[in-house]
Amino acid sequence: MKRYLFIISRTPYGSTHALEQLEAAMVAAVFDGRVAILCRDQGVWNLQGNQDGAPQGQKTVSRVLAALPTYDIEELYVCADSLSSQQIQPDASLDIKPLTFVEQQSLIAASDVVITAQP
Amino acid sequence: MNYALAVHGAPYAGTAADHALGFAWALLAEGHRIERVFFFHDGVYQGLAGQVAPQEHFDTDLLKRWQQLARQGIELAICIASGIKRGVINETEQSRYELAHPSLAHGFELVGLGQLIAAINAADRYVEFPA
């Protein structure tokens, strides 16, 4: 079983980056991978509370994130530095763990595959 | 070693294809294997038929270079979800959605996102080429 890390680094509604990363993460979980997700840089906006994707005709990204445990994706991390610099108030329904830079290094090192889909 | 590659950038918009192609040929030259090249996000435009290389790229026709790679038996797999919403469709999708004509270039195929994960699982290394 491979350990996958998906890094989300862009805002939820400015592009399809976040939703497409999450789709790939769910497929990896279905393939019996152990999947972790790390939001960092502008990607921390995906965790912001009170989101509604409907005006954009999109899924609400924070709700997709909240549904990840049903896909056996239990590890949702956020860069602590990005979280404070962007002043995000995370959605209360999300179980997220802030990580320091050193902890993010360890997470990346411990993963077999890192998928950034960097635009 | 066995490699899975992913291309996320559109042709002539950045270095994704150039770097991926150079890397792929270097892998083959060194005796490595390529499990699959997966085209995701705007990378699906690499498989759009009818591309005309801009003049400043006259000797780097990307589509021809991908097709050369395909002739080595390398699978060029386009994410079907990313592809159909951008109009990169084969004959099956053309008739399913009643569109005028297929647009998928020779040498490429449309596959599900599961094929990306399957390739990564089968490979020793996964390398992404961003937009």
DSSP A2: P
Q: Quick check: B47 and B105 in contact, CB under 8 A?
A: yes
Which two tokens mark B102? 């297929």
Which two tokens mark B53? 């290389």
Question: Nearest CB to A23: which of B113, B120, B128?
Answer: B113
Question: A118–B130: do the CB atoms touch at under 8 Å?
Answer: yes
Check whether B69 has a pLDDT greater than 90: yes
Question: Nearest CB to B117: which of A20, A28, A117?
Answer: A28
In chain A, residues 33-72 whose CB comes closer than 8 Å to chain B:
33
- HEC string of chain B equals CEEEEEECCCCCCCCHHHHHHHHHHHHHHCCCEEEEEEECHHHHHHHECCCCCCHHHCCCCHHHHHHHHHHCCCCEEEEHHHHHCCCCCCHHHHHHCCCCCCCECCCEEEECCHHHHHHHHHCCEEEEECC
Determine the pLDDT at residue A16. 86
pLDDT one-digit tens code per residue, A30-64? 998 999 999 999 999 999 999 999 998 899 999 99
User: How many Cβ atoms from other residues are within 10 Å of residue B55's Cβ?
Assistant: 6
What is the distance of C-alpha A104 from the center of its chain? 13
Q: Which class in CATH covers the domain with range B2-129?
A: alpha beta
| pTM recorded for the entire structure | 0.88
pLDDT one-digit tens code per residue, B19-34? 999 999 999 999 999 9
Check whether A105 has a pLDDT greater than 70: yes
pLDDT band at B58 (very low <50, low <70, confident <90, very high): low
Question: B116–A119: do the CB atoms touch at under 8 Å?
Answer: no
Distance CA A108, CA A7 (A): 10
Question: B121–A16: do the CB atoms touch at under 8 Å?
Answer: no
Distance CA B3, CA A11 (A): 30
Among A19, A20, A71, the strongest candidate for a mutation testing the B interface, having the largest count of B CBs within 10 A, is A20
Chain A residues near residue B40 by CB distance under 8 angstroms: 20, 24, 117
Amino acid identity of residue B119, one-letter, is A
Would you call A20 an interface residue with chain B, using a CB distance cutoff of 8 Å? Answer: yes
For chain B, the domains span 2-129
In chain B, residues 72-111 whose CB comes closer than 8 Å to chain A:
81-82
Question: Nearest CB to B8: which of A4, A113, A117?
Answer: A117
Residue of B nearest to A15 (CA): B41
Which strand ranges, in their side-by-side order, compose the sheet holding B108-111?
A: B108-111, B76-79, B33-39, B2-7, B125-129
Instruction: Tell me which H or E stretch contains A17.
Output: helix A17-30
Q: Which whole number is the average pLDDT over A76-85?
A: 97
The structural domains of chain A, ordered by start, are: 3-94 (3.40.1260.10)
